[in-house]
């Protein structure tokens, strides 16, 4: 099991396994936030929020991006469609040695129009 948290600790993330790879995406939002995404089935992720996160949707509005309402760290995204078996976790919130062990994949989300993560 692997744990991560936002800077202030109000949002905590628990993962069944450490990510083997993370994606660096150059789409309009990822390049601004500087996130590195690890992908999981929502069944493999537990997120606890001491305060409701701020959420953001754009474009096709098929994803909801979450950030801590206090410290502002991007924490994760979820698909609006509850049957979609994939979500993204900001690997930046994990321990530095966990992130360092993951391979970084460059992903050209910008060329794909609407981000698909």
Q: Which residues bind Zn ion (CB under 5 A)?
A: 6, 8, 10, 68, 70-71
Is the Cβ–Cβ distance between 26 and 108 less than 8 Å?
yes
Nearer to Zn ion, 41 or 48 (CB): 48
- Integer Cα distance of 51 and 72 in angstroms: 12
Nearer to Zn ion, 52 or 59 (CB): 52
Q: How far is the CB of 71 from Zn ion (least distance, A)?
A: 3
Q: How far apart are CA 74 and CA 62, in angstroms?
A: 17
Nearest distance from C-beta of residue 99 to Zn ion, angstroms = 18
């Amino acid at each position: 099991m692997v744990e991560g948290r936002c800077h202030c600790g109000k949002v905590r993330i628990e993962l069944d396994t450490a990510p083997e790879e993370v994606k660096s995406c150059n789409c309009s939002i990822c390049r601004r936030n500087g996130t590195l995404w690890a992908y999981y089935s929502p069944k493999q992720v537990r997120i606890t929020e001491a305060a409701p996160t701020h959420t953001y949707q754009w474009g096709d509005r098929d994803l909801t991006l979450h950030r801590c309402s206090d410290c502002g760290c991007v924490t994760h995204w979820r698909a609006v469609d509850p049957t979609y078996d994939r979500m993204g976790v900001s690997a930046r919130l994990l321990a530095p040695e966990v992130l360092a062990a993951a391979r970084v994949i460059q992903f050209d989300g910008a060329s794909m129009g609407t981000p698909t993560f």
